[in-house]
Structure 1
Amino acid sequence: MNSFTTSWGAYRLTRFPEDPREQLRAWDAADEYLLRRLAGETEEPAVPVALSGTVVVLGDRWGALTTALAGHTPVVQISDSYLGQRATAANLERNGVPAGAVRLLTTTEPPPERIDVLLVRVPKSLALLEDQLHRLAPALHPDSVVLAAGMVTEIHTSTLQLFERLVGPTRTSLAVRKARLVFSTPDPGQARPANPWPLRYALPDGIGAVSGRTVTNFAGVFCADRLDIGTRFLLQHLPPTAAAGGRTRVVDLGCGNGVLGTAVALADPRADLLFVDESHQAVASAEATFRANAPAGARAEFLAGDALAAVPADSVDLVLNNPPFHSHRATTDAAAWRMFTGARRALRPGGELWVVGNRHLGYHVKLRRLFGNCETVAANPKFVILRAVTSRG
């Protein structure tokens, strides 16, 4: 656990789920730069920002900003990440922040009607930023303070143009320790274009039951404007799910826009589906895709969560998984490992995990270690589909 030192004090912070071996911190130079600017400590002529009224923190990755500010003013945090908000809740409790000092909202919930201070951690997804600024801009007024922060690799000309178009006149700071600030002055009278999100498109032919179907993608979902090629490969090799004398319980794990689970429902309307993702935007996308395409009588649940941590053991027959290998720009297999171990626990004896991934990631090694077996179902020059079966003993 690391100590995050700010103008208001030092805070003990971790990511979620907490792992003593994890070397990545729960904050970075952009968080530090933004808090120094709020305190009036930056080199440019500055005075402290008055943290009063409704203070909204958008995209706080692990709760560093929210925890540092919550002891001084009520804060509303808006996040797409289930894991990020679990980290925030744990860090608030760890640092003695009173319950009720922070209101945690997801990116799919209605935002506050009035915002006096808007603090933005620029996300990896420009689309997610666009969607959220569309949602939040109507709550700004001429005296609102809008301040964003990101690493220099996260702030581009397109980022500044987005603030200009949706908030008002915008400028940026000099870089400090590879971090940069964005200052935007709200112009409530500014005409804004319509929000293009969610985005819908028709799937291509040749991918089984979902061929030609329309999918819905909320902003920030991976491959929002096209079908991910790994998912496409798995769609061409989906296992049969119909079971004699009962309903098959199938999980679309890391569901994204829900194409895999929806394909199962179309092929086997008796299957019970569970769509799981740590992104609230993804879960909303999966539900919209399923509702628009699933046959009558198809059943599904939709869950934002930490892989399969909330799913009872020995309760699932089949898990379909196209795991990510990035977490907030860090290349890591931690998410895949949580998904695989969660699947091993949740699957019934004889249950199967089907995984699609880049060949070079070596998922077969992890699966053999966990399940004691791993079979290659299909492969092409870029991807491999792997099948692991839980022991019946």
Structure 2
Amino acid sequence: MSPLSSALSGRSRSWPRIAVLPFTGLSIVPSAEVLPLTAGNLKLSRPGAEPGLRAWDAADELLLAEAGNRLADSPRVLVVDDQFGALTLGLAQAHGPVTSVADSAVLPDALDYNARHNPGIARPALLHSWLNPPEGPFDLVVLRIPRHGAYLGWLLRWVNSVLADNGCLLAGGMIKHLPDRSVDVFAEAVVTETVLPARKKARVVVCRKGQAQLQGWAESWKGYPQEGLPAPVEALPAVFARDKLDIGTRELLPLVGPAVAGLKPGARVLDLACGNGVLGLTALACGSDITVDFSDVSSQAIASVQHNLGTCGYRAGQCQHSDGIREGAAQYDLILLNPPFHEGGVVGDHIALRLFRDAAKHLVPGGRMLMVGNRHLGYHKSLKRFFGKVEQRAASPRFVVFEAAP
């Protein structure tokens, strides 16, 4: 019986949980900043994150250890969705230059930061996202398994298009973060060769190229109709709340029209952390004489916004794949924000605080920000660190909408 069939024969539809074995591929991490590898230590940090958050986990360690056994037979290596550079720099240290593609705009900044602390390791000259994906074929693909099954299915089908016929896919993640139906998602898309024993609560799956492709896959785009917009709002799998309107955004939407109505002709609006762009699209529907920019850390979000602008027949200002607002960006009369409150498995307000800081620096005199957040996160206090005026505009049992101005 194959490893995949063995997994499917159990009652659980996730990978079987094997007892953690002694980890021999890499040394135990002695500190929060140094990752020991066979080729030498890596100094890694998470720029902009809360102190104490490590820049890698056991899944990165296990992927690096398994990939190290295959590098000699793999001239072209691709890393998919590295988090903070551990995989890209670790493999580059052992192999030489590798190609890296990631949905998140966090990776380029993290790689720049960590490459400076690891001189002699070749950082990729060009970092790819889903706005400019790399071309294959690749002999070895090292992939971080995402938390959501639809995005995993999308990634595996895309990998099939760039993996060499005799190439190998190593897909790894922390067991507690593996998406539901992981076994089924892999079985539908690729050929599972083996499932490595769990180590330090991490899992790696060794796969070969499958037949499934993205073209014609019904799960690529999902969306919903939104009142006031001429076409459904759709999004790719990595985008938050792509199937239905987020309940926090629902609290903020009624305030968008009145806010846009109060703007002068030629005003500039930013949909920050835009997701599928429903807030900015609504602003465009309410005011034809304004310019709306969109910004999100996810390249699939930006691709989704561009898609929705086309189907709605709207023209935007700029669509920025960025972790926050870029230095030198425009100044805005109105910023709309529904900030993320988790990054991977870490929940907190550190992302929102960065976005608040950026927003406060990019408002024109007299400009304002409308934002919605979970009530329990206490944004009314943290907003006052960056804005001189903070006023509650709406509330529900779970969410609060604030207007903030310098």
* TM surpasses 0.5: yes
Identity %: 34
Whether the 8 Å CA contact 2:192–2:205 is kept in 1: the answer is no
Task: Name the counterpart of 1:52.
Answer: 74
Greater alpha carbon shift after TM alignment, 319-328 vs 77-86: 77-86
Helix, strand or coil: the match of 1:370?
A: coil
TM-score (norm 2): 0.85
**Letter paired with 1:333:** D
The reply on whether 1:379 has 2:382 as its aligned counterpart is no
- Give the deviation of 1:80 after TM superposition: 0.3
Task: Name the counterpart of 1:124.
Answer: 147
Helix, strand or coil: the match of 1:252?
A: strand
The reply on whether 1:62 has 2:92 as its aligned counterpart is no
Task: Name the counterpart of 1:300.
Answer: 317
Helix, strand or coil: the match of 2:177?
A: coil
Task: Name the counterpart of 1:111.
Answer: 134
Work out which of the residue numbers 221, 236, 243 in structure 2 matches 1:199.
Answer: 221
Looking at structure 2, the residues matched to 112 and 143 of structure 1 have their Cα atoms a distance apart, in angstroms, of: 17
The reply on whether 1:241 has 2:260 as its aligned counterpart is yes
Work out which of the residue numbers 171, 175, 190 in structure 2 matches 1:152.
Answer: 175
* CA gap 1:386/1:86 in 2 versus in 1, 3 angstroms: same
Count of residue correspondences = 372
Task: Name the counterpart of 2:371.
Answer: 355
Helix, strand or coil: the match of 2:191?
A: coil
Helix, strand or coil: the match of 1:348?
A: strand
Looking at structure 2, the residues matched to 365 and 100 of structure 1 have their Cα atoms a distance apart, in angstroms, of: 40
**Letter paired with 1:276:** S
Task: Name the counterpart of 1:226.
Answer: 244
- Give the deviation of 1:11 after TM superposition: 0.9
- Give the deviation of 1:100 after TM superposition: 6.4
Runs of 5+ consecutive residues of structure 2 not aligned to the other structure: 1-31
Runs of 5+ consecutive residues of structure 1 not aligned to the other structure: 41-47
Helix, strand or coil: the match of 1:117?
A: strand
Whether the 8 Å CA contact 1:251–1:318 is kept in 2: the answer is yes
Whether the 8 Å CA contact 1:202–1:215 is kept in 2: the answer is yes
Whether the 8 Å CA contact 1:54–1:116 is kept in 2: the answer is yes
Whether the 8 Å CA contact 1:278–1:307 is kept in 2: the answer is yes
* CA gap 1:270/1:101 in 2 versus in 1, 3 angstroms: closer
* CA gap 1:69/1:309 in 2 versus in 1, 3 angstroms: same
> Which structure has more RCO (C-alpha within 8 Å, separation ≥ 6)?
2
Task: Name the counterpart of 2:47.
Answer: 16
- Give the deviation of 1:68 after TM superposition: 0.9
Task: Name the counterpart of 2:306.
Answer: 287
Looking at structure 2, the residues matched to 138 and 299 of structure 1 have their Cα atoms a distance apart, in angstroms, of: 31
Q: What's the CA shift string for 1:113-144, capped at 9, x where partnerless?
A: 20100111111222222212212202223421
- Give the deviation of 1:27 after TM superposition: 0.4
Task: Name the counterpart of 2:26.
Answer: none
Work out which of the residue numbers 190, 197, 200 in structure 2 matches 1:174.
Answer: 197
* CA gap 1:377/1:311 in 2 versus in 1, 3 angstroms: farther
Looking at structure 2, the residues matched to 116 and 312 of structure 1 have their Cα atoms a distance apart, in angstroms, of: 39
- Give the deviation of 1:275 after TM superposition: 0.3
**Letter paired with 1:378:** A
* CA gap 1:253/1:226 in 2 versus in 1, 3 angstroms: same
The reply on whether 1:337 has 2:356 as its aligned counterpart is no
* CA gap 1:116/1:302 in 2 versus in 1, 3 angstroms: same
Looking at structure 1, the residues matched to 333 and 325 of structure 2 have their Cα atoms a distance apart, in angstroms, of: 13
Helix, strand or coil: the match of 1:221?
A: coil
Task: Name the counterpart of 1:45.
Answer: none
- Give the deviation of 1:311 after TM superposition: 4.5
**Letter paired with 1:343:** A
Whether the 8 Å CA contact 1:160–1:171 is kept in 2: the answer is no
Looking at structure 1, the residues matched to 292 and 180 of structure 2 have their Cα atoms a distance apart, in angstroms, of: 42
Q: What is the root-mean-square deviation of aligned Cα atoms in Å?
A: 2.2
Greater alpha carbon shift after TM alignment, 343-352 vs 170-179: 170-179
